[in-house]
Amino acid sequence: MCSRYSVAASFLAFAGLCTAAIAPAAGAGGWPERPIRLIAPVSPGGGGDFSARLLAKSLAASLKQPVVVDNRPGGGSVLGTALAAQAPGDGYTVLWVSGSHAINAAFERNLPYDPLKSFEAVGLFAKLPFILVVSPSLNVASLPELLARLRASPGKLNYASSGTGSVSQLGLEMLKLAAKVDMVNVNFKGAAPSIAALLSGEVQMALLGPLSVKPHLANGRLRALAVSTAKRSPALPGVPTFAESGVPGFDVASWYGMLAPRGTPRLAIDRLNAAINASTEESAVREALAEEGAEMVRGTPQAFDAFLRAQVAQYVALRGRVDLQLR
């Protein structure tokens, strides 16, 4: 026969189990109830940081809670990404990611996280095309002319890239393979020194973002041959794509998106995704990104997950064909 104490203990244990079972749902239902931390694994002041802060401001207005950007640069974005992977999956820590997330997945050794399995996809925010530019002294007016020059003089022309493993390098390595041409990579620390090398004649071409090259296109010091994405860039609508210029299937871009630690409640992910999509309706956000040459993207978490997996697969396929190791 049970005593009243054992009955009471059994009741309390049962109540505790019930409370534990419903606590996550109750917490998710009220989400967000406090500020959200957006980890940006980049240094303050750069293009990625600018876009992260632009989105954070828009999300805060939609979600009625502060969204605080926490810059954690280092290791080619690995340090900040690892911090996000270790954060609780409660919806109050999210991660700002760019194309380097997929590149690291393919080329980095011994990452302290799994680029796909450690995270939940939240949403793709924007895509940033790159522009193939050349010095006018090269005397080529189109990509087919440049490819003909490269085939006639294999290994004689140089291209600038803004760092080992950057899109500016990997994009032109993809072009070498797709068009069966040869050119020599010269690495620089960023777009500005790459452009300086172009203007001085140290290199003959580069694949760079629209924002960094537009002033030099306007004054005639550089010439645009092709845009790297599958469709033309609104920032430079007169520049044909690589596919239009005889390199079918070429589609390389940088991009910005958001991930959350694995286990983040679906309600939080869906509300974050809805807020990201809502930001595309804000003219101030669209105009600010257009200045950078970026184009906003709407979509579901599932669509971003598929996009991210395709990006990783693209760079993994490249990994076996180029001599490149980030770390």
Could you read off the pLDDT of 177-230 as tens digits, one per residue?
999 999 999 999 888 999 999 999 999 999 999 888 999 999 999 999 999 999
Q: What is the pLDDT of residue 29?
A: 60
Q: What is the pLDDT of residue 10?
A: 39
What's the mean pLDDT in 150-174?
92
Residue 321: pLDDT band by 50, 70, 90 thresholds? Answer: confident
CATH 3.40.190.10: which residues of the chain? 131-245
C-alpha to C-alpha distance for 60 and 67, rounded to whole angstroms: 5
pLDDT of 97 over the 70 cut: yes
Q: What is the pLDDT of residue 59?
A: 96
Residue 41: pLDDT band by 50, 70, 90 thresholds? Answer: very high
CATH 3.40.190.150: which residues of the chain? 35-127+254-319
Residue 14: pLDDT band by 50, 70, 90 thresholds? Answer: very low
What's the mean pLDDT in 63-79?
95
Q: 18-22, 150-154, 266-270 — which is least confidently predicted?
A: 18-22
C-alpha to C-alpha distance for 191 and 210, rounded to whole angstroms: 11
Residue 24: pLDDT band by 50, 70, 90 thresholds? Answer: very low
Per-residue pLDDT tens digits for 252-277: 999 999 999 999 999 999 999 999 99
Map tokens 């505790």 to a residue.
16
How many Cα atoms sit within 13 Å of 153 on the Cβ side?
8
What pTM did the predictor assign?
0.85
How large a percentage of the chain has pLDDT more than 90? Answer: 73
Q: Are strands 253-261 and 93-98 parallel, antiparallel or unpaired?
A: antiparallel
Q: 31-40, 43-52, 88-97, 187-196 — which is least confidently predicted?
A: 43-52
C-alpha to C-alpha distance for 28 and 30, rounded to whole angstroms: 5
Q: What is the pLDDT of residue 323?
A: 64
May I ask the CATH architecture of the domain 35-127+254-319? 3-Layer(aba) Sandwich (3.40)
Residue 9: pLDDT band by 50, 70, 90 thresholds? Answer: very low
Q: What is the pLDDT of residue 4?
A: 35
C-alpha to C-alpha distance for 228 and 206, rounded to whole angstroms: 12
Question: Position 100: which residue type?
Answer: S
**Structure tokens belonging to residue 11:** 């009741």
Q: 10-19, 27-36, 38-47, 104-113 — which is least confidently predicted?
A: 10-19
What's the mean pLDDT in 4-20?
37
C-alpha to C-alpha distance for 260 and 85, rounded to whole angstroms: 8
Q: What is the pLDDT of residue 298?
A: 92
Task: For residue 258, give the DSSP letter.
Answer: E
DSSP string of 27-53, one letter each residue: HHHT--SS-EEEEE-S-TTSHHHHHHH
Task: For residue 177, give the DSSP letter.
Answer: H
Collapsing DSSP to helix, strand or coil, 27 comes out as: helix
Q: What is the pLDDT of residue 265?
A: 97
Question: Who wins on pLDDT, 39 or 188?
Answer: 39
Mean pLDDT of the chain: 88
pLDDT of 108 over the 60 cut: yes
C-alpha to C-alpha distance for 317 and 174, rounded to whole angstroms: 10
Map tokens 């469709």 to a residue.
231
Give the CATH class of 131-245. alpha beta
Task: For residue 297, give the DSSP letter.
Answer: -
Q: 31-40, 110-119, 152-161, 162-171 — which is least confidently predicted?
A: 162-171
Q: What is the pLDDT of residue 125?
A: 94
279 phi/psi in degrees, rounded to 5: -65, -25
Q: What is the pLDDT of residue 240?
A: 97
